[in-house]
Structure 1
Amino acid sequence: MKTVVELKNVTKTIRGKKIIDDLSFEVVEGEVFGFLGPNGAGKTTTIRMIVGLIGITSGEITICGKNVVKDYENAIKHVGAIVENPELYKFLTGYQNLEQVARLIKGVTKEKIDEIVELVGLKDRIHDKVKTYSLGMRQRLGIAQSLLHDPKILILDEPTNGLDPAGIREIRDYLRSLAREKGLAIIVSSHLLAEMEMMCDRIAIIQKGKLINVQNVRDEDETDKKTYFCHVNNRKKAKEILVENGFQATVHAEGIELNLEKEEAPAVIKILVENHILIYEMKVITKSLEDRFLEITKNEVAVNA
């Protein structure tokens, strides 16, 4: 896949203090890339550097191969962004807001505006005044403004802040469809773990300005070993049988735990059944993003202590 945004060893120092420390990652087309970290971790500062709102102390940021510092105009033309909240004229209609933005962009036609309105699902309310819109509708209108010039990357800073559960789901589903259907690269920053897990393909975890880890949330390699829990009637006997057959098993709760590749699971079931062990349940034990985030950040704190 084509790389749309790349950060190489980016550092930002303000009044002698490192706010961002040697940050490197890349975002490819068609993915929703999550930027996750506690408040004050440096998420908004990084986004402001990507879109050129503040300078870079050292390192390099490129957008579609164009350097943000050396070739800002050609780099930023590929970007659509909402940093914090969308700026809207509440006394105008949604359509009039889009027309105001379109005046600043060469070649945006009425047909293009209509296409974007359809895309963001505001067709039925686009001629109502923005002051009558819900927060979710305002976010979608802000995204529509960001899409008028056909950007390659959409950057959203805390896009679900202040939304109710229905609005959060609405924005999440919409962003995923944008990435899937238009091949748009999307960067979303947040501190909401559960929401990021449902929305993103990959997630970069940042803490105190440093990149701690990049996690795949979807499309994990199916050949990787995973931890399985097997609920059986005789844990001790089941473990002995499996160890005899070359598997590593641990007695746990109401059953046993095993570290297996996907194709090994049927063999384990077959061995246990042939040895008259009753199997009530067998499942993969998956760690939530919250578990992984806390594990990673705690480990990082321990290392730096």
Structure 2
Amino acid sequence: MSYILQTNRLTKAIDERVIVNDVNINIKKGEIYGFLGPNGAGKTTIMKMITNLWKPTDGTIEIFGERLTSSSYEVLKRMGSIIEFPTFYDHMSGFENLKLHCEYMGYYSPKSIDNALKMLNLSDASNKPVKSYSLGMKQRLGIARAVLNKPELLILDEPTNGLDPAGIKQIRDLLKMLCTEYDITIMISTHILSEIESIADTIGVINQGKMLKEISMKDISEMNTTYIELSVNDIKRASYLLADKLNIFNFKIIDENNIRIYDKNITTQDVSRELTLGGVNISVLHTKMETLEDYFLKITEGANK
């Protein structure tokens, strides 16, 4: 199997506090890798090490089959990235900022800047100073800069920060296009799971500096559980009736009104009949399938226990 990026026991400590601990990442060529975790989990720290902004305390990073060192200049030229919030020369236009980046990277292809601006819907603002850009426009300009030199590996740290729903969808579509049409491998971090669910091939779940799980979306889809979700007015009585009348014990109380039933042998009709006869009012009753968010919460909550 061809991996474009791998880390081995990657560790980072600052002032004797370990913020990333023994993290192994394996990203295959040509895939979109969703790097998931709550704020403060260590995602940005790892991406800073991958892009050579920070040095690991321990462990190794291999990119394109080469071990990353302080002199890996040619490796870094084959990458594009946004780490945290992109910064620019505010007095210069968007076009001028991208042109400067091309000069810095030693890259220039005819119309590459115009194409990148068009791709990110920034053509009309290309000659305006960046200080006049909105937060979302600056974020899109950062993505334009990251993809300008058609990198083989794209590292994006929370790239949809500051974007409205339409902008988020545009970025999702763009990432899928870059992966399928340009064969760019993409690593994207986020704490917003809905951004990743429809585009990722593989996810890595990190929490408190440790990698909890690395799994393909296909495997998650195959193991997804169908369940019955209901909202009731009396959670204690509903729980009693499920166990006593329907002999169901594989259920979970979500909060003071909601229950999820994981018993595959029970129907919504059975649940509705017994709870209604038992004097429980049901406001919601439907069958659902576990989402990536459900899987993520299951993994992270289990690790915190």
Is TM-score (shorter-chain normalized) higher than 0.5? yes
Tell me the SS of whatever aligns to 1:151.
coil
Tell me the SS of whatever aligns to 1:250.
coil
How far did residue 228 of structure 1 move?
A: 5.5
Tell me the SS of whatever aligns to 1:104.
helix
How far did residue 204 of structure 1 move?
A: 0.8
Provide the residue aligned with 2:3 in structure 1.
3
How far did residue 227 of structure 1 move?
A: 4.7
Provide the residue aligned with 1:294 in structure 2.
297
Deviations 1:244-281 (A, max 9, x none): xxxx952243269xxxxxxxxxxxxxxxxxxxxxxxxx
2:100 is aligned with 1:100? yes
Q: Is the 8 A contact 1:108 1:148 kept in 2?
A: no
Provide the residue aligned with 1:250 in structure 2.
265
**1: distance between equivalents of 2:38 and 2:103?**
38
Provide the residue aligned with 1:138 in structure 2.
138
- Range with greater deviation from structure 2 (102-111 or 33-42): 102-111
1:229-268 equivalence runs, <5 A: 250-254=265-269
Partner amino acid, structure 1, of 2:204: A
Partner amino acid, structure 2, of 1:301: N
Q: Summarize the Cα distance change of 1:253–1:114 in structure 2 as closer, same or farther, 3 Å threshold.
A: same
Q: Is the 8 A contact 2:42 2:209 kept in 1?
A: yes
Tell me the SS of whatever aligns to 2:123.
coil
Q: Aligned residue pairs: how many? A: 258
> Normalization by structure 2: what TM-score?
0.75
Provide the residue aligned with 1:187 in structure 2.
187
How far did residue 42 of structure 1 move?
A: 0.7
Tell me the SS of whatever aligns to 2:84.
coil
Q: Summarize the Cα distance change of 1:107–1:213 in structure 2 as closer, same or farther, 3 Å threshold.
A: closer
Q: Is the 8 A contact 2:43 2:206 kept in 1?
A: yes
> Normalization by structure 1: what TM-score?
0.75
Q: Summarize the Cα distance change of 1:111–1:166 in structure 2 as closer, same or farther, 3 Å threshold.
A: closer
Q: Is the 8 A contact 1:64 1:78 kept in 2?
A: no
Provide the residue aligned with 1:59 in structure 2.
59
Q: Summarize the Cα distance change of 1:249–1:298 in structure 2 as closer, same or farther, 3 Å threshold.
A: closer
Partner amino acid, structure 2, of 1:80: G
Q: Is the 8 A contact 2:91 2:129 kept in 1?
A: yes
Tell me the SS of whatever aligns to 1:84.
coil
Tell me the SS of whatever aligns to 2:12.
strand
Tell me the SS of whatever aligns to 2:99.
helix
In the TM superposition, structure 1's runs of 4+ consecutive aligned residues that sit over 4 Å from their partners are 219-222, 224-230
Partner amino acid, structure 1, of 2:56: I
**2: distance between equivalents of 1:96 and 1:44?**
28
Q: Is the 8 A contact 1:89 1:130 kept in 2?
A: yes
Provide the residue aligned with 2:257 in structure 1.
none
- Range with greater deviation from structure 2 (147-156 or 117-126): 117-126
Partner amino acid, structure 2, of 1:294: L
**1: distance between equivalents of 2:207 and 2:125?**
40
Tell me the SS of whatever aligns to 1:294.
helix
Q: Summarize the Cα distance change of 1:173–1:72 in structure 2 as closer, same or farther, 3 Å threshold.
A: same
Partner amino acid, structure 1, of 2:180: R
Q: Is the 8 A contact 2:268 2:287 kept in 1?
A: no
Provide the residue aligned with 1:158 in structure 2.
158
**1: distance between equivalents of 2:164 and 2:112?**
30
2:74 is aligned with 1:74? yes
**2: distance between equivalents of 1:93 and 1:40?**
33
Root-mean-square deviation over aligned CA pairs: 2.7
Partner amino acid, structure 2, of 1:254: Q
**1: distance between equivalents of 2:223 and 2:154?**
35
2:177 is aligned with 1:177? yes
- Range with greater deviation from structure 2 (53-62 or 123-132): 123-132
Q: Summarize the Cα distance change of 1:286–1:104 in structure 2 as closer, same or farther, 3 Å threshold.
A: same
Provide the residue aligned with 2:253 in structure 1.
none
Q: Is the 8 A contact 2:80 2:147 kept in 1?
A: yes
1:212-227 equivalence runs, <5 A: 212-217=212-217, 219-220=218-219, 224=222, 227=225
Q: Summarize the Cα distance change of 1:71–1:198 in structure 2 as closer, same or farther, 3 Å threshold.
A: same
